[in-house]
Structure 1
Amino acid sequence: MLTAIVTGATGITGSAIVRHLLEDPSITKIYTLSRSQPGEKDARVQHVHLDLQDSAEEMAKSLSGISAEYVYFCAYLAKPDEGEAARVNGALLSNFIRGIELTGAVKQLKRFILTCGFKHYGVHQGLPKQPLLETDPRLEGDMGNGAKWPPNFYYTQQDILKEAAVRGNWEWVCTLPNDVIGYAKQNFMNEATAIGLYCAVSKVLPGSQLIYPGNRLNYFIFNCWTSADLHARFCLWAATAPGAGNNIFNVINGDTQSFQTLWPRMAQRFGCKIPENMFDPATTKAYTAESTDTEMKTKNPISVHAKKLGIVNGLEVSRTPALHLPIDPQKWAQRADVKEAWGKLKTKYGLDQAAWDKATWDFLTFVLGREWGCVGTMDKARKLGWTGYEETWESFERTFEALEREGILPPVEQLKRDF
């Protein structure tokens, strides 16, 4: 009898893990923990309403009688302040672990899988050294000029996890996915939803032009993405793979992609046209009020490698990281003509207004506004036997199809006929 606990079970990564656990006949019981709706319905699934912001003692009451060999921890709370994010998310994890210690559930635990991300490398702060390796040093302590690197809640959680594993004599695994592509019911916090909405509305606007909202450098840099399904398969592999315990792993699709390839595919799929001179100011002139230039408050993370790389006085170190967008999606989504176009789509195809209201335009602003890539390797996991791979465009395509079925995006073939 193999059992699993999944926290954040209704989120994008958590729900994907539950679906893949259900495909494994050796798993006889899955406890899904979340504050919201139950999610997957199956005889092997038992949903427990759990608020991870409760104390360890309160959680222990909700978790009474629940134990498992494997825990998949996918829950987190987004906070704009880095220090607050570290405090809150550290408490979520530590109180949960303390809760299962109080119930005695840790006696059965074999491995605890924690989902983190590429923020581990400071990709949200500026240009990192690439490719990103699990052995890269943390961004902690002195940043230079008397400043310190801001707190990183992934480091806080990893330290809590390692200490608890030693205390309880079980193993841990930390996964680092990047820009996760996937879908979960009533969860609109993902890149694919915002991009899909941008493309669909662009189809309705006069001329059906699909202007890339990000900057020119961003269009040509290379990145890695992570399919929620591939990440789920990795988590199940890492839970039992020999030698995988007590390790941090990058988890990415396996290809290296760029919007110079993806954007034309987006245009073709949604029936839009890409302007011949997309980055000419004349093309985006009508959107001047929606442009954004924001300087970051940190140094480029590559600076911690400057001496080793021989670039102590290089531009990569001295230049202040910034976000630049000719069209900021957050501002674009507030335009009257854009809202009117969305209204047409919503009415004609019966789409979910919450998808528009809760779309993570701010995340899209960051992803498309940065002037640096985020490329990691899968070498560490591959050496242990991981062979998973997914082509990134297929990840987007499959997610768009799911969003159509759920009434978040319009049916694309009908959209192309109607507009």
Structure 2
Amino acid sequence: MPTAIVTGATGITGSAIVSHLIKDSSYTKIYTLSRSNAGFKHPKVQHVHLDLQGDTDHMAKELAGISAEHIFFCAYLASNDPNETDRINASLLSNFLEALVKIGAEKQLKRFILTCGFKHYGVHLGRVKQPLMEDDPLLQGNAGGISWPPIFYYSQQQVLAEAARKGNWEWVCTLPEDVLGFAKGNFMNEATAIGLYCAVCKATPGSELPFPGNKDNYFAFNTWTSANIHAQFCLWAASATSAGNQIFNVTNGDSESFQNIWPKLADRFGCKIPDEMFSDKGFKDYESSTIPMKNAKHPLHLHAESLGLSNDPLVTDTPTLRLQVDPEKWAKRSDVNRVWAKLRDQYGLDQKAWEKATWDFLTFVLGRDWSCIGSMSKARKLGWTGYADTWDELVDTFEQLEKEGILPPLEDLKRDY
């Protein structure tokens, strides 16, 4: 009967893992590690205060008496500086692993599951080869003659693999993409920003729902990852016979596009899709943005020669975000904020929802012009059969956000506006 440790239990992926561990009768004890209590009230769950930014000795004291067969590591710290992000997150993980050794907890450890993401492939840097596969070359050092910015997942994976080799236990790294889910008090969620955008558009005269991004993105295909399907995968990977010491894409299993999702959003929120949405008639100029990205080359550059694209604009142009309605600019407009304030007060919504919503992430997701499709073949071949419908998962997240008072009640919104 295994026990489990979950770090980052207050986050979207971590909280989903805890929820699924609670449901799994084979787990007898679950330790949630974070600076604040995730609030799980269940006899199997014990919260332990842990500051992952502390040094090894301090963490060892906080972890005294704790051990588990399976560890699910979902914590990370963001920074605008990729070098600092790399340093901080490699240190978080290495110090935590060293603390486990200090208290002897690694002797019980069988498998360590590290949550990473599609930044592993450089999807945040520009156009990538499709589909993304786990054995694709890494964007590190001077790969392809380009000096790539550090990707902290690589450092974490190296730290983890070395610790596992020394401790004689196994590791698994998961790569989810654009996670859909809910965690109380956590607004770092693509669905939150999309839902707020739709709700305010509904309450704006005319109730039009323009797609903020560009036409290429509207017709591109992408994959998303439900926090629930990721949690189920993590529990599978913790014990699947052949999964040890491997990296896996984890997506819902379907392919989606905004050309399919956006009309569904309009219908759900009672909005109208503008006619000639991508014409020059368009939307107010001050809402649009063309944002050249800091990196000089697309990750597709690594595959240019083999694909016969060495001098093709798909490889040689500057990675750029293009938006006809920039979510960050839009969210700061006085008229938009007046509509939000009216909704917030009318329905008693969370006071922090608007300012904490990840408008910058939505700007990136909608402004890129490249697809992000990850192959699930590797996991499927080892017996993984999980599947989730992306639209259903998005709706489920909206409903949770409504229950928590982050989004207005849908039926009331559609009735009142």
Query: Which TM class, normalised by the smaller chain length?
Result: over 0.9
Once the two structures are superposed, the pairs formed by residues 381-392 of structure 1 within 5 Å of their partners are 381-392=379-390
Cα distance in 2 between the residues matched to 1:295 and 1:38: 38
Post-superposition offset of 1:279: 1.3
- Tell me which residue corresponds to 1:185: 184
- Tell me which residue corresponds to 1:294: 291
Cα distance in 1 between the residues matched to 2:192 and 2:50: 27
The alignment status of 1:334 with 2:332, answered yes or no, reads: yes
Cα distance in 1 between the residues matched to 2:144 and 2:128: 16
Cα distance in 1 between the residues matched to 2:312 and 2:300: 10
The amino acid that maps onto 1:62 is: E
User: After alignment, is 272-281 or 101-110 more displaced?
Assistant: 272-281
Cα distance in 2 between the residues matched to 1:66 and 1:101: 12
What secondary structure is seen at the aligned counterpart in 2 of 1:112? Answer: strand
Post-superposition offset of 1:37: 2.6
Cα distance in 2 between the residues matched to 1:36 and 1:218: 38
- Tell me which residue corresponds to 1:312: 310
- Tell me which residue corresponds to 1:63: 63
Cα distance in 2 between the residues matched to 1:73 and 1:149: 26
Post-superposition offset of 1:39: 2.4
Post-superposition offset of 1:120: 0.2
Cα distance in 2 between the residues matched to 1:89 and 1:261: 36
The amino acid that maps onto 1:288 is: D
The amino acid that maps onto 2:357 is: A
Runs of 4+ residues deviating >4 angstroms: none
Post-superposition offset of 1:280: 1.8
- Alpha carbons of structure 1 residues 400 and 359: separation in structure 2 relative to 1, 3 Å: same
The alignment status of 1:176 with 2:197, answered yes or no, reads: no
Once the two structures are superposed, the pairs formed by residues 129-208 of structure 1 within 5 Å of their partners are 129-142=129-142, 147-208=146-207
What secondary structure is seen at the aligned counterpart in 1 of 2:373? Answer: coil
- Tell me which residue corresponds to 1:89: 89
Post-superposition offset of 1:305: 1.1
TM-score using structure 2 length: 0.98
What do residues 274-305 of structure 1 show as CA deviations (whole Å, max 9, x unaligned)?
11111123231xx3112111112231101111
Once the two structures are superposed, the pairs formed by residues 207-226 of structure 1 within 5 Å of their partners are 207-226=206-225
Cα distance in 2 between the residues matched to 1:219 and 1:101: 49
What secondary structure is seen at the aligned counterpart in 1 of 2:374? Answer: coil
Kept in 1, the 8 Å contact 2:144–2:302? The answer is: no
Cα distance in 2 between the residues matched to 1:39 and 1:305: 46
Once the two structures are superposed, the pairs formed by residues 69-148 of structure 1 within 5 Å of their partners are 69-142=69-142, 147-148=146-147
What secondary structure is seen at the aligned counterpart in 1 of 2:10? Answer: coil
TM-score using structure 1 length: 0.98
- Tell me which residue corresponds to 1:401: 399
What secondary structure is seen at the aligned counterpart in 1 of 2:261? Answer: helix
- Tell me which residue corresponds to 2:244: 245
Cα distance in 1 between the residues matched to 2:296 and 2:91: 26
Cα distance in 2 between the residues matched to 1:45 and 1:38: 10
Kept in 2, the 8 Å contact 1:126–1:298? The answer is: no
The amino acid that maps onto 2:286 is: A
What do residues 92-138 of structure 1 show as CA deviations (whole Å, max 9, x unaligned)?
10000111111100000000000000000000000000100000010
What do residues 331-381 of structure 1 show as CA deviations (whole Å, max 9, x unaligned)?
100101110000111011100021111000000000000010100110000
Identity, % of aligned positions: 64
Cα distance in 1 between the residues matched to 2:22 and 2:324: 44
The amino acid that maps onto 2:411 is: E
Cα distance in 2 between the residues matched to 1:24 and 1:270: 35
User: After alignment, is 303-312 or 56-65 more displaced?
Assistant: 303-312
Kept in 1, the 8 Å contact 2:187–2:358? The answer is: yes
What secondary structure is seen at the aligned counterpart in 1 of 2:186? Answer: coil
What do residues 145-202 of structure 1 show as CA deviations (whole Å, max 9, x unaligned)?
7x51110100010000000000100000000000000000000001000000000000
What do residues 205-255 of structure 1 show as CA deviations (whole Å, max 9, x unaligned)?
110000111111111100000000000000000000010000000000000
Post-superposition offset of 1:56: 0.9
- Tell me which residue corresponds to 1:275: 274
Once the two structures are superposed, the pairs formed by residues 37-48 of structure 1 within 5 Å of their partners are 37-48=37-48
Kept in 1, the 8 Å contact 2:89–2:156? The answer is: yes
Post-superposition offset of 1:13: 0.1
The amino acid that maps onto 2:151 is: N
Cα distance in 1 between the residues matched to 2:272 and 2:402: 21
- CA RMSD in angstroms comes to 0.9
What secondary structure is seen at the aligned counterpart in 2 of 1:323? Answer: strand
- Tell me which residue corresponds to 2:52: 52
Kept in 2, the 8 Å contact 1:270–1:416? The answer is: yes
Kept in 2, the 8 Å contact 1:143–1:299? The answer is: no
Post-superposition offset of 1:38: 3.1
Cα distance in 1 between the residues matched to 2:282 and 2:139: 39
Cα distance in 1 between the residues matched to 2:142 and 2:381: 34
The amino acid that maps onto 1:405 is: K
The amino acid that maps onto 2:79 is: K
What secondary structure is seen at the aligned counterpart in 2 of 1:333? Answer: helix
Q: Which runs of 5+ in 1 are unaligned?
A: none
What secondary structure is seen at the aligned counterpart in 1 of 2:321? Answer: strand
